[in-house]
Amino acid sequence: MSVLDSKVPKGPLDQKWTAHKNKINLVNPANKRKIDVIVVGTGLAGGAAAASLAELGYNVKTFCYQDSPRRAHSIAAQGGINASKNYQGDGDSNYRLFYDTVKGGDYRSREANVYRLAEVSGNIIDQCVAQGVPFAREYGGQLDNRSFGGVLVSRTFYAKGQTGQQLLLGAYSAMNRQINRGKITPYNRHEMLDLVLVGGKARGIIARDLVTGAIERHSAHAVYWLLEVTETYSSFLPMLWDLMSWPLGVPTEEGLILPTHVLRKFTLPVFLFLETTSLS
C-alpha cells in the first residue's frame, strides 16, 4: 500500500516555500526539450499546466475525454478568484487570505499549502490577465474587486458571471499557441485507464481512444493528473502558478512537488499521482 507523503518543506510556515525554492535542484534549460510530460485533464488546472510546461520548453501530451478542452467543467466556477493584491486598500495581506481560507475550509486544509496559495495569489491574477482573461475593471482601468464568500475584505477578481468560462478560454488559448508550436500534442476523446509505475515513479499511462476503442500506451518522464474531484472546495491554480514560477526540477528522491490546496474531501489517486511523479 502506498504511503501518502505531502512533501511539505521544513521550517516556519511563512518561510518554508521560499527556503525550498532556494535549495531545489534545477533542470538545465537545454535539457528541458528532452523531457516528456503527460497531463491528464485539460480544464483550468491541466490546461494552464500544459501551456506553462510547454512554454518552459518541455514536450507535453494532454489527455481529455471531451471533444475539446473548452468543454471542461471548469466553466462552472463563476463566482471569481481571490488574491491578496489589496487593490481596495482595506488591509488585505497574504496572511489574511491564508487565515480566511483556512477558516473557510473548516480548519481541515493543509496550512502549508494554503499559505503557498496566498503567496502566489497575486501572480495568478497577473498570469490570467496576460492570457487575456477580461476581468471586470473600474472606471480608471484598474482591476475591480468585490466581496465574496463572507470575508472581511474585497479581494475577489471576477469577469461578470462568467469567471470560470473566461479563465478556461484564456488557458485554452495559451494551449493552442503551444500546440501550434508543436510543444503540446493533444489527445482529445481519450480516457485514462491506468498509470504506469516504474520503480514507484509515474512513467506513463494506459489510455483508450474513445472514437476507435483502441488501447494505447504513452510514456513520459512525469505525469500530472489534474481532474476535478467531487465535493472539494479546492483551487488547483496555485499549483499551476508554481509550475510557471519555479524552474521545474525538484530533487528526484522527493518527486515533483505540487502544493495542492485542498479543503474537505479528496480522493486517494490524486495524491498518489503527485507523489510518484518525478523528472529523473
Q: How do the domains of the chain map onto residue ranges?
A: 16-276
Given the C-alpha cell 481512444, which residue does it identify? 209
| Sign, CA torsion 271/273/276/280 | negative
pLDDT attached to residue 78: 81
Indicate whether 261 pLDDT > 70.
Answer: no
Edge-to-edge strand list for the sheet holding 201-209:
190-198, 201-209, 215-219
Indicate whether 110 pLDDT > 80.
Answer: yes
pLDDT attached to residue 257: 37
Please tell me whether residue 229 adopts helix, strand or coil conformation.
coil
Structure-derived torsion over alpha carbons of residues 107, 109, 112, 118, reported in degrees to the nearest 10 = -90
**Which residue type sits at 200?**
G
66-90: pLDDT as tens digits: 999 999 888 888 888 999 999 999 8
pLDDT attached to residue 3: 67
Query: Who's near 88: CB < 8 A, 6+ residues apart?
Result: 145, 153, 154, 155
pLDDT attached to residue 96: 93
What mean pLDDT is predicted for residues 191-210? 89
Residues 263, 267: Cα–Cα separation, whole Å: 12
Residues 116, 260: Cα–Cα separation, whole Å: 9
Taking CA atoms, 150 is separated from 100, 129, 146, 153, 246, in Å, by 9, 25, 11, 9, 32
DSSP for 50-108, please give it. HHHHHHHT-EEEEE-SSSSGGGSGGGG--S-EE----TT-S---HHHHHHHHHHHTTT-
* The C-alpha cell that represents 228 in the structure block: 476535478
Residues 72, 175: Cα–Cα separation, whole Å: 14
Contact 144, 138 (CB under 8 A): yes
- Tell me 13's DSSP state: T
Q: How confident is the model at residue 185 (pLDDT cuts 50, 70, 90)?
A: very high
What mean pLDDT is predicted for residues 104-125? 88
pTM for the model stands at 0.77
pLDDT attached to residue 227: 58
124-172: pLDDT as tens digits: 899 899 888 999 999 999 999 998 877 889 999 999 889 999 999 999 9
Taking CA atoms, 175 is separated from 47, 97, 183, 201, in Å, by 6, 30, 9, 26
Q: Where are the alpha helices (DSSP H) in 105-235?
A: 111-130, 163-181
Query: Who's near 1: CB < 8 A, 6+ residues apart?
Result: none
Tell me: domain 16-276, CATH 3.50.50.60, correct? yes
